[in-house]
Amino acid sequence: MKKRLLSLALSAAMLLALCLVALPSASAAADDSTGAPAAEPPADLPDIDIHSWEFRLCNAYNSVAWYTPEYGRIEGQGLDPRVVDAAKALFADARAAGFTIYMAQGFRNIEWIETNYLRTYVHCERDPILTAKTFPGIGVNEHQTGLAIDFTDERKNAANYDIFEDPEIFDSELYAWLLEHAPDYGFVLRYPEGKEEFYGVACPHAHFRYVGVEAAKYMTEHDLCLEEFLMLYDPDAVFIPEHGKLN
C-alpha cells in the first residue's frame, strides 16, 4: 500500500508541475483568442468515431488513469483481444516475407508500470520530472492500453519484461518494412520524430499503435501523429501544453 501511495503521489506531483508550468494565464489566453471560426476538416477524412476504443489517447499530457483492457494473448504476451487478429496477421506476413520479428513488449499492467516507475524514480535521484522523461508512469504509459507493440528482430528481446532497450532496431530492414506495411494491419508508428509537442515523452523504440486500417493509412499518408489526427475531428480532443515539450 505504501508503494502504491508513493507512486500515486509522485505521478500527481509530476502532472501538477507540468500543468502549472505549461498552462498560460487566463489573461494571456484571453489575449490570444481571436474569435476566428474553427478550420473546416479535410474533405477526405475517414468517416470514423474518434471516441471508439481504438483511439483511446494516452500520452505524457493525457492520462488514461487506472484503465485496464480485457486480456488477449499473443506471442507469449498480452494485448487487447480486439487487436490480436491484426497483430497475428502482421507477424505472419512479416515472417513470410523473410523477416525475423518478435514482440518485445505488448500490454503491461499497472503493477509492472508502477514497479518500473519507482525503480526509475530512485535511479533518477528521486526527481519526478526527470523520471517522467525517462519512463512513463501509470496512466501515461501507452502499454497500459493493450493497443501498443514494441517490435524487435532480436530473440533475446522477445517478451522483454525489463524496460526495453534496442536502439539498433531503427537501422534494421524490419523497421523499414514496418513503416511501410504496418498500416495495412491497422498499426502506425506512434511517436514520429519532431512531433514531441503533441505527445510529450516518446518511447524510443519500434513502438507501434493500433488505430484501425483506415485511420492508420490516412495518418501515414498525411504524416500525422495520433494527436494531430484526432484534432482534425475535434480540436479539443487533445490537451497540449502551451509551452511545448517535456524532452
Domain holding 59, by residue range, is 50-109+142-233
Number of domains in the chain: 1
Interatomic CA distance for residues 45 and 126, integer angstroms: 45
Instruction: With respect to residue 10, please indicate whether it lies within any of the assigned structural domains.
Output: no
Instruction: With respect to residue 39, please indicate whether it lies within any of the assigned structural domains.
Output: no
Instruction: With respect to residue 5, please indicate whether it lies within any of the assigned structural domains.
Output: no
Report pLDDT digits (tens) over 27-41: 333 334 444 445 677
Report pLDDT digits (tens) over 136-149: 999 999 999 999 99
Interatomic CA distance for residues 108 and 141, integer angstroms: 9
Angle at alpha carbon of residue 169, lines to 168 and 174, rounded to 5°: 140
> Pick the residue with more confidence: 246 or 242?
242
Instruction: With respect to residue 115, please indicate whether it lies within any of the assigned structural domains.
Output: no
> Pick the residue with more confidence: 13 or 224?
224
Instruction: With respect to residue 90, please indicate whether it lies within any of the assigned structural domains.
Output: yes
Instruction: With respect to residue 219, please indicate whether it lies within any of the assigned structural domains.
Output: yes
Interatomic CA distance for residues 130 and 96, integer angstroms: 42
Report pLDDT digits (tens) over 180-194: 999 999 999 999 999
pTM: 0.84
pLDDT mean across residues, the chain:
86
Instruction: With respect to residue 179, please indicate whether it lies within any of the assigned structural domains.
Output: yes
Given pLDDT bands bounded at 50, 70 and 90, which one contains residue 10?
Answer: low
Q: What is the CATH number of the domain that holds 190?
A: 3.30.1380.10
Q: Which of 4, 5, 227, 247 is nearest to 132 (CA)?
A: 247
Instruction: With respect to residue 63, please indicate whether it lies within any of the assigned structural domains.
Output: yes
Angle at alpha carbon of residue 144, lines to 59 and 156, rounded to 5°: 105
The amino acid sitting at 152 is: T
Longest CA–CA separation in the chain, Å: 59
> What's the confidence (pLDDT) of residue 243?
56
